[in-house]
Chain A
């Protein structure tokens, strides 16, 4: 029996796609579902443990203000880091996209993006060396400044913010750069020919047109920062307790996995809300 062309094609599509998507299902989507299930258990269903279905893990979040406060602290950290990264990164992307030309632009762009693809843990660690009391920053400042300063930023919120901005800055530069590069230079010329000054051009042409890229970068920063735990641990020390570190604790120290699962899902909900709010603007960019 000969197969129809459509059937042949269906088999081809299936055999090319199924391995990758099966893998993603087993390693990402099933675990997320399993975690959702877990978040409604009273204890882990392994070994001889007694367990039953309950919403007590979610109740725990709402009954005490501890978790909500930590979540708010994490969101705040996310806003702070995102804000700093945007303020620092957007002008940088603009310079890269509009005032530098040719080969040096490509090279500089690569230099900006490169650290992003190196180990984030190691980069956070390198800040620990710079920021600690008696560290390089203090020595450098004391060499330049005529008076003695005592710089011990280590184990403080500024240290965490600096480290996270350093980690995620390339995101916002990358997305803004791509958006800015796509803006036709003639648009800027046209605005000038109509009498617009630099501020008007920035405000009415460049910002609106690059907003989707800027926002994409901001989302890409905000989401992982809200869920960060390694950076606050290394750079924050005792002040570095955030929502992410509490979740980490449930899995590696306290071993209350169902609570950890519930907290993870609350975090996921926050992430999804952020993505949902941002997506209309991001989608508008495609038209």
Chain B
């Protein structure tokens, strides 16, 4: 296929998906991000089938193979009690992804709904109440607050997720609020109102679809931050507890054996970097993709 043909094909309006993919894939880095995220997700889902020693994810001891450097039977080496680091790292993706996904899937809807209401009611009391509460939450440093909440509730994976969710929704509220405050003055919203539409229709069908793209982008970028924050909490001992194969926990216990048994900590660290990088690249790609799309919507 020549470039011209490809462009022609891509610009045919009927082939919307192909065109979108063409535009998205023009940026090589976003494709790299997508592939990385895809690999991480697949590894997490199929961890028990992919990991060479699935049992090592739990509380297993095998002192005969303790602290083995990377070799052919243990590609990432073994830890201080003889568990396969590769297997534990693969299982570690599960906890990291789950953490990010759970936190965002609760924080996003809460933030979006509150932002929609406040933005639509801009200037009324509901707006002030919601946004002042949001401001208070935004003024608190997230890691410190998460530490505090966890210290009160007790250290566990669930509590870490609760703490992160509480700290996360205000960002979505703020993001959506800003957009809705602008979008509600669009003529098409007034036009729909003239068409007899009620508030739920205006909010959900006319306004919300036009802020979805930025919410999606932020979610992708936030996955990276959530995974990092989750790992940090685990690292300081407030998240998942050993022997859970959480990446942060693994780095924490592995760091005791640096620099001699470097592989115990380094491979989980690299797994974190891989995941975070993947989500960041994908998020940047999506942001550019949507920016171009918005431009086209405006132009036409």
State whether these chains interact.
Answer: no
- Residues of B participating in the A interface, judged by any CB pair closer than 8 Å: none
